[in-house]
Structure 1
Amino acid sequence: MKKNIALLYRGMNSKVGELLANRLIPSISLHSVGAIVFLDHIYPVDLGHDNSPVPTGNYAHPHRGIATFSYVLSGSLSHYDSRGNHATVGAGGLQWMKAGNGIIHDEKPFTRKKDSPVFHSLQFWINLPGGAKQEKPEYMALQAADVPEAQLPDHGGAIRILLGEFGLWASPVPTFNREFIYHVRLNPHSRFSFSPKDDDEVAVFVPAAEVVINGNMIGNSKILLMEEGTKEIVFENDQINVADILIFGGQPYGEPIVMEGPFVMNRFADIATAYRDFFAGSYGTIIIP
């Protein structure tokens, strides 16, 4: 019997540049979780020791109205944008870019010589409040060591606070709608109980190894939307390897949502303006060395 589960979804394959991804949000059944309106799971891919962080520019693209959030599970990722920001992060690191009133960016997966040749990542889009959609773009990169991490009870593993707050810990990444993203590393034969805030929308994503969530076995790149008012989510890892679990969500987004291509706005007229400004060149140009 399923407990507190509103939706279980396996996603749909999509190409992201040359990479294959599982697109989990949006879908016909799931448009958003809190302010999070997009989730791509970039499947593990062997890059063959491609150690160049410099993109070709062929996949550069614009955004307006959202913050992009890229989290690297293995390998490395570089970022270049039209506001002059540039950084690279390794496994366990993340990149946050507030597109605000318009930006163009390009991301390049690669592997350092000390890394495994496998690249594996997630990308979320966070819908900004209407006022923040008109603000100037911002960018932040965190390496793995910069991400707050708390230990779970009974040697159960760790929880990494990628975005938002958890108890005494808080990510330095800005939030707008009490959005949160946590990465739980659940040790073998361990259990962890999570209590959401009363009015939060909450989803769980398990990229690989299967775990038991409120009595149901879930894994292999599936997303689980919890019912409204769920008081407790219990995770159990009966396997002999560490299990990765992403918990995310936040307060319901209270404004209209209009999403088309790389733009997420509050009105159709704003989408038209976003395209017009992009074609007029107001988002700037990426300078790649």
Structure 2
Amino acid sequence: MDTVANSVRIIPAIAVPEGAGVTVHRTIGTPVLREYDPFLLLDHISSDKPEDYLAGFPSHPHRGFSTFTYMIDGHMEHQDSMGNRGDLGPGSAQWMKAASGVIHSEMPKQKNGLMRGFQLWINLSAAHKMDQPEYQEYSAEAFPVIRTEDYALKVLIGRFSNTAAPIVDDLTNVCYYDVQVNPGRHFRHRIPAGHHGVIYVFEGSGQLDRQRLPQHSLAIVDADNGELDVVAGQQGVRMLVISGKPLHEAVVRYGPFVMNTREQIDQAMRDFQSNNFVRDRAWIKRSE
């Protein structure tokens, strides 16, 4: 059950089986919060037990949205029906604009007993759902890190102040940060006007508007003012801070297909069943 205090809504993660039996901790994409425009799903993979994730995510399709995969520990080997393949290591990330259609697989691999990472689904507008697919893949070193006395912030998508990430989303203006706040210190930030923002805590704990932010919980930022002032607890806090411009469009989803109408979902299913799903080869951009 989610709770409300002041203007902060806190949603605990729910354990959900995915792929071939992988357990993920989901906050967006559940009966409690089906979507938060433009975000469709936020999954957190976190385990030191290989049996929890080694079955992985065998070949599956996507249409109508983009995915962003960010690794903290371990590796994620991936490949797709168009011949692309790669290995996301600790700190690396991949932006995949599935758009008109991609079939791919993702196989998690632990390192030193650890496996942690995130996947975010970002909706595409009706005008771009059938665009040509694209990939952007970058190593950990490609992402700038801002360090102050209070926090360290990695800019993964978009901009923070005058610092830009290598990944830019021109459609929904997503910003995505990995922020580690030192014990008792503050992280202050303003979400852009008119955008939706969330915080996901995955290490330690903190407070936002005097509401506790426990580990493995999502906080929805007050859309009216967008002001953040997170105070870290005694062990510090590490969190994702994500924002994006809402699309304000109808969302019809069926598994890995997210469209605007039921007829478009039916067409996606027919395309997949008749082997007409993949229409374009993805363009791939990798860091040096």
Q: TM-score range by the shorter chain?
A: 0.7 to 0.9
Is contact 1:85–1:139 with CA below 8 Å preserved after alignment? no
Residue among 179, 183, 186 paired with 1:188: 183
Between the aligned partners of 1:214 and 1:81, the Cα distance in structure 2 is: 44
Q: Which runs of 5+ in 1 are unaligned?
A: none
Q: Residue 235 of structure 1: CA displacement?
A: 1.2
**Contact residue 63 and residue 99 of structure 1 kept, 8 A:** yes
21-30 vs 124-133, greater mean Cα deviation: 21-30
- Partner deviation per Cα, 1:3-58 (whole Å, 9 max, x = no partner): 321x211132111233211121123342323311111111223339x9xxxx9897
Matches of 2:226 and 2:124, distance apart in 1? 27
Q: CA deviation at 1:183?
A: 0.9
Q: Which amino acid letter does the alignment assign opposite residue 47 of structure 2? A: P
Q: CA deviation at 1:74?
A: 0.9
Q: Which moved more, 1:256-265 or 1:215-224?
A: 215-224
Query: Which 5+ residue runs of structure 2 have no aligned equivalent?
Result: 280-288
> TM-score, normalized by length of structure 2?
0.87
Question: 1:131 is matched with which residue?
Answer: 127
Deviations 1:209-243 (CA, angstroms, capped at 9, x unpaired): 11122222212211111222134211112324x52
**Following the alignment from structure 1 to structure 2, what is the Cα–Cα distance between the partners of residues 231 and 261?**
31
Match of 1:30 among 30, 33, 40: 33
Q: Specify the alignment match of 1:15 in structure 2.
A: 17
User: 1:275: which partner in 2?
Assistant: 269
Residue number in structure 1 paired with 2:255: 261
Aligned length: 274
Question: 2-side partners of 1:264 and 1:137: how far apart?
Answer: 15
Residues 211 and 219 of structure 1 are in contact (CA less than 8 Å); yes or no, is this contact kept in structure 2? yes
Measure the CA separation in 2 of the matches of 1:38 and 1:257.
13
Give runs of aligned pairs for residues 197-276 of structure 1, distance below 5 A. 197-240=192-235, 242-276=236-270
Which letter maps to 2:12? R
C-alpha RMSD of matched pairs (Å): 2.4
Give the partner amino acid of 2:27.
L
Name the CA shift for 1:209/1:85 in 2 (closer, same or farther; >3 Å).
Answer: same
Distance 2:197 2:55 in 1: 37
Given that 1:209 and 1:243 are in contact with CA atoms closer than 8 Å, whether structure 2 keeps it comes out as yes
Consecutive aligned runs of 4 or more in structure 1 exceeding 4 Å deviation? 55-58
Q: For residues 97-112 of structure 1, what are the structure 2 equivalents within 5 Å? A: 97-111=96-110
More strand by share: 2
* Alpha-carbon distance in 2 for matches of 1:45, 1:236: 28
Post-superposition CA distance 1:136-158 (Å, at most 9, x none): 11112111111122223xx1121
Separation in structure 1 between the aligned mates of residue 138 and residue 247 of structure 2, nearest angstrom:
26
Letter of the structure 1 residue corresponding to residue 165 of structure 2: S
Alignment map for 1:63-212 (pairs within 5 Å):
63-111=62-110, 115-152=111-148, 155-175=149-169, 176-212=171-207
Question: How far apart, in 1, do the equivalents of 2:68 and 2:144 lie?
Answer: 16
